[in-house]
Structures are given as C-alpha cells and as structure tokens.
Amino acid sequence: MAKITYIDFQGNSKSIEVENGLTVMEGAIQNNIQGIDADCGGSMACATCHVYVNNEWLDKLPKPEEGEVDMIDMAFEPKKNSRLSCQITVSDELNGLIVTTPEKQS
C-alpha cells in the first residue's frame, strides 16, 4: 500500500491509497482521478497516462525503459520529469509519491 498524490494542472490534489502491484495509472483510473486517459489500457502504446513526477521522487523511481521514453516523445508537453504512469508500479517504497497531470493528454 502506498499513498499516491495526484495533482491536476490547476493545483487541485487528491491522495489515494493504492494497492501494491497496481500501477500509478490504474490507481488513478480505479479512483476516478481526472487527467489520465490511458486509452491503450497500459500497454505503453498511447502516451495518454502521461504525468510529471515530483522532482524529489524522480530519481527514486526505476529508470524508464527505451520504449517508454520513445512514447513520451508523443505526449502532450513533455518535460524532463515526464513519465507514463502505466509504467510506475506501486510498492511500499513509493508511499508519498506525488505526480502532476498535464493540462490535457492529447
């Protein structure tokens, strides 16, 4: 279990307890968090679950694989701290993770 905080582009935040093993994307979809579309359902094929990871967390996450970085090229306004939330798996170590969703996903 980890507490994940989702902040939207206007600054509204929602914290959710997400079960270990789910992805940050699934945590959002199951709890009706706005701002994450996840059109492809988590197969790293659409870049519509794009989030900005809070800087202090960025280095604590496992590095993205090449396919994820390639997909982020397609995302809406990518930045240095861009990740696909379908590729971040929740574990106890991620307790307190903060991600911000972009203004839109496509």
User: Would you tell me which residues interact with another protein (CB under 8 A)?
Assistant: 39-41, 43, 45-48, 66, 69-70, 73-74, 76-80, 104, 106
Q: Which is nearer to another protein, 17 or 79 (CB)?
A: 79
CA distance 5 to 38: 18
- Kindly state the smallest distance separating residue 55's Cβ from another protein, in Å: 13
Closest Cα to residue 27, out of 93, 85, 98, 104? 85
Q: Which is nearer to another protein, 60 or 104 (CB)?
A: 104
Q: Do the Cβ atoms of 50 and 82 come closer than 8 Å?
A: yes
